[in-house]
Amino acid sequence: MLKVKDLHKKFGDLHVLKGVSLEVSKGEVVVIIGPSGSGKSTFLRCINHLEKPTSGHVFIDGVDLDAPTTNINVVREKVGMVFQQFNLFPHLTALENVSLAPEKVLKVPRAEARDRAKALLSKVGLSDKYDAYPDQLSGGQKQRVAIARALAMQPKLMLFDEPTSALDPEMIGEVLAVMRKLAEEGMTMVVVSHEMGFAREVADRVLLMADGVFVEEGPPREFFTNPKHERTRAFLSKIL
Amino acid sequence: MVFDLEVVARYLPFLLQGVGITVEFTVVAFSAGSVLGLLLALARISKNPIFHYPAVAYIDFVRGTPLLAQIYLIHFGLPQIFGYTPVGYIDALLALTLNSTAYIAEIMRAGIESIDRGQMEAARSLGMTYVQAMRYVILPQALRRVVPPMGNEFIALLKESSLVSVIGMEDLMMRSRMMAGRSFRPFEAYFTAALIYLALTLTFSRILGWGERRLGKSAQG
């Protein structure tokens, strides 16, 4: 499904990603944790090429994103992304936020796009907020609209970039619940998050990124209870 | 030495005939300049050097030189090079349009660049092309933000349009000069013209302010 090979990313002299590889199979949920500045977000943004990797390759469903024949827009249709700051479109209602891309990119007829958007908003528990503008929504509601918006493109892979980090504590649960449901439905997910509870319960694999490389990876039980690397132990002791 | 109201009353209809030209030039140049300015702003923020550098050069040149020099260049300079008979009306409109295009381009650019980077990223992550993201996500937000500076540009253009009088356009300015010459009362002539300009700018800024408030109410987020 997703294969990342020896990815490097430099911003000028700053070497953020130093040869990162990862394979994620269909239906798998991978959670990436790590100290801030370690390159987690950059890694996620390289997967759908919001940042262009300096070197290395990203394959999605076997398609090499860096091949000159690859249309990045078509690839991105299949890769949903949820941002820390939600990035909802403030001039559109919740419904329009969700229906915009299917309508304009996939050319779904307007009525159908709106029906599907309604179904998705209901799915994330916002059936009473179709016509609300983003600034009328709470943080948790915004993030759920953002998830619905990404799902509207019927992605095969969902990327979550610290989806709960900008939320008030009491709103984190509602967003995680939606993500959990998504995981149960078999969505392939790569999640950058510090929600250890979520990682423990939902992830198939947990990875620790530090200084631009993956230091350790494993199933959550093993990762949290019996980490192999000193770096992982040090990090976990700080956050648990 | 008193202010001769009788002269003013006699020449007022004559002056007001120039208001039509002044407003016409302003509205046409502003409208055309808005469309061209938006395109120029998009060229200016383009990473493609073929669009970027000419746009930068154009904006710098127009904003860095006097409108009066531009009017002379277009009306007297170009006909000399290309050997045609200049038409004042067209040259005046052209000069004002080309001038406002550059200023509006900078307003539009600032508006577009004021939109959070995350908006473009979110749009692109949904598979939208750059053009789709601009059209459906960035520009609708940016255009709302540029309404106040665009209003200022409109007012500035209304006043600057008085410069077309130097190539014989019978706008408000030109007619006040004619009134001064015919009546031998330059103070009354120019003071009345100034008051009419003031009335125009105040009227338009009221209209713009009202429009802004309405937009402010409907604009979300």
Which helix (H) or strand (E) segment holds residue B52: the answer is: helix B49-63
Neighbouring residues of B77: CB distance < 8 A, sequence distance ≥ 6: none
Among B132, B144, B221, beta carbon nearest to A105: B132
What is the distance between the alpha carbons of residues A31 and A176, in angstroms, rounded to a whole number? 13
Handedness of CA A53, A57, A62, A64 (dihedral sign): positive
The pLDDT profile of chain A, 240 residues, written as one tens digit per residue, is 899 999 999 999 999 999 999 999 999 999 999 988 889 999 999 999 999 999 999 999 989 998 888 999 999 999 999 999 999 999 999 999 999 999 999 999 999 999 999 999 999 999 999 999 999 999 999 999 999 999 999 999 999 999 999 999 999 999 999 999 999 999 999 999 988 899 999 999 999 999 999 999 999 999 998 888 999 998 988 877
Q: How far is CA B200 from the centre of its chain?
A: 15
Is the CB of residue A142 less than 8 Å away from at least one CB of chain B?
A: no
In the sheet where A157-161 sits, what is the strand order? A79-82, A157-161, A188-192, A29-33, A205-210, A213-218
> Domain range for residue B142?
5-220
- CB contacts, 8 Å: B220 with chain A: 90-91, 133-136
Q: ∠ at Cα B77 (B71, B82), nearest 5°?
A: 130
What ipTM does this complex have? Answer: 0.93
Which helix (H) or strand (E) segment holds residue B99: the answer is: helix B88-113
pLDDT at B221: 40
Among B119, B127, B141, beta carbon nearest to A105: B127
Phi, psi at A116, each rounded to 5°: -65, -35
Number of domains present in the structure of chain B: 1
| pLDDT digit string, tens, across residues B13-33 | 999 999 999 999 999 999 999
Phi, psi at B117, each rounded to 5°: -50, -35
The CATH number assigned to the domain holding B13 equals 1.10.3720.10
pLDDT at A138: 95
CB atoms within 10 A of CB B155: 17
Structure tokens belonging to residue B180:
């001064």
Q: ∠ at Cα A56 (A51, A57), nearest 5°?
A: 80
| pLDDT digit string, tens, across residues B40-82 | 999 999 999 999 999 999 999 999 999 999 999 999 999 999 9
Structure tokens belonging to residue A76:
């991105």
pLDDT at B220: 44
Residue B219: pLDDT over 60 = no
Among A79, A91, A133, beta carbon nearest to B141: A91
Look at residues A80, A102, A97, A110 and name the one whose alpha carbon lies nearest to residue A136.
Answer: A97
Is the CB of residue B145 less than 8 Å away from at least one CB of chain A?
A: no
Q: Most B CBs within 10 Å: which of A88, A99, A104, A149, as the mutation test of the B interface?
A: A104
Q: With contact defined as beta carbons under 8 Å apart, do B165 and B171 qualify?
A: yes
What is the distance between the alpha carbons of residues B74 and A181, in angstroms, rounded to a whole number? 67
Q: Is A38 helix (H, G, I), strand (E, B) or coil?
A: coil
Look at residues A218, A211, A167, A195 and name the one whose alpha carbon lies nearest to residue A33.
Answer: A195
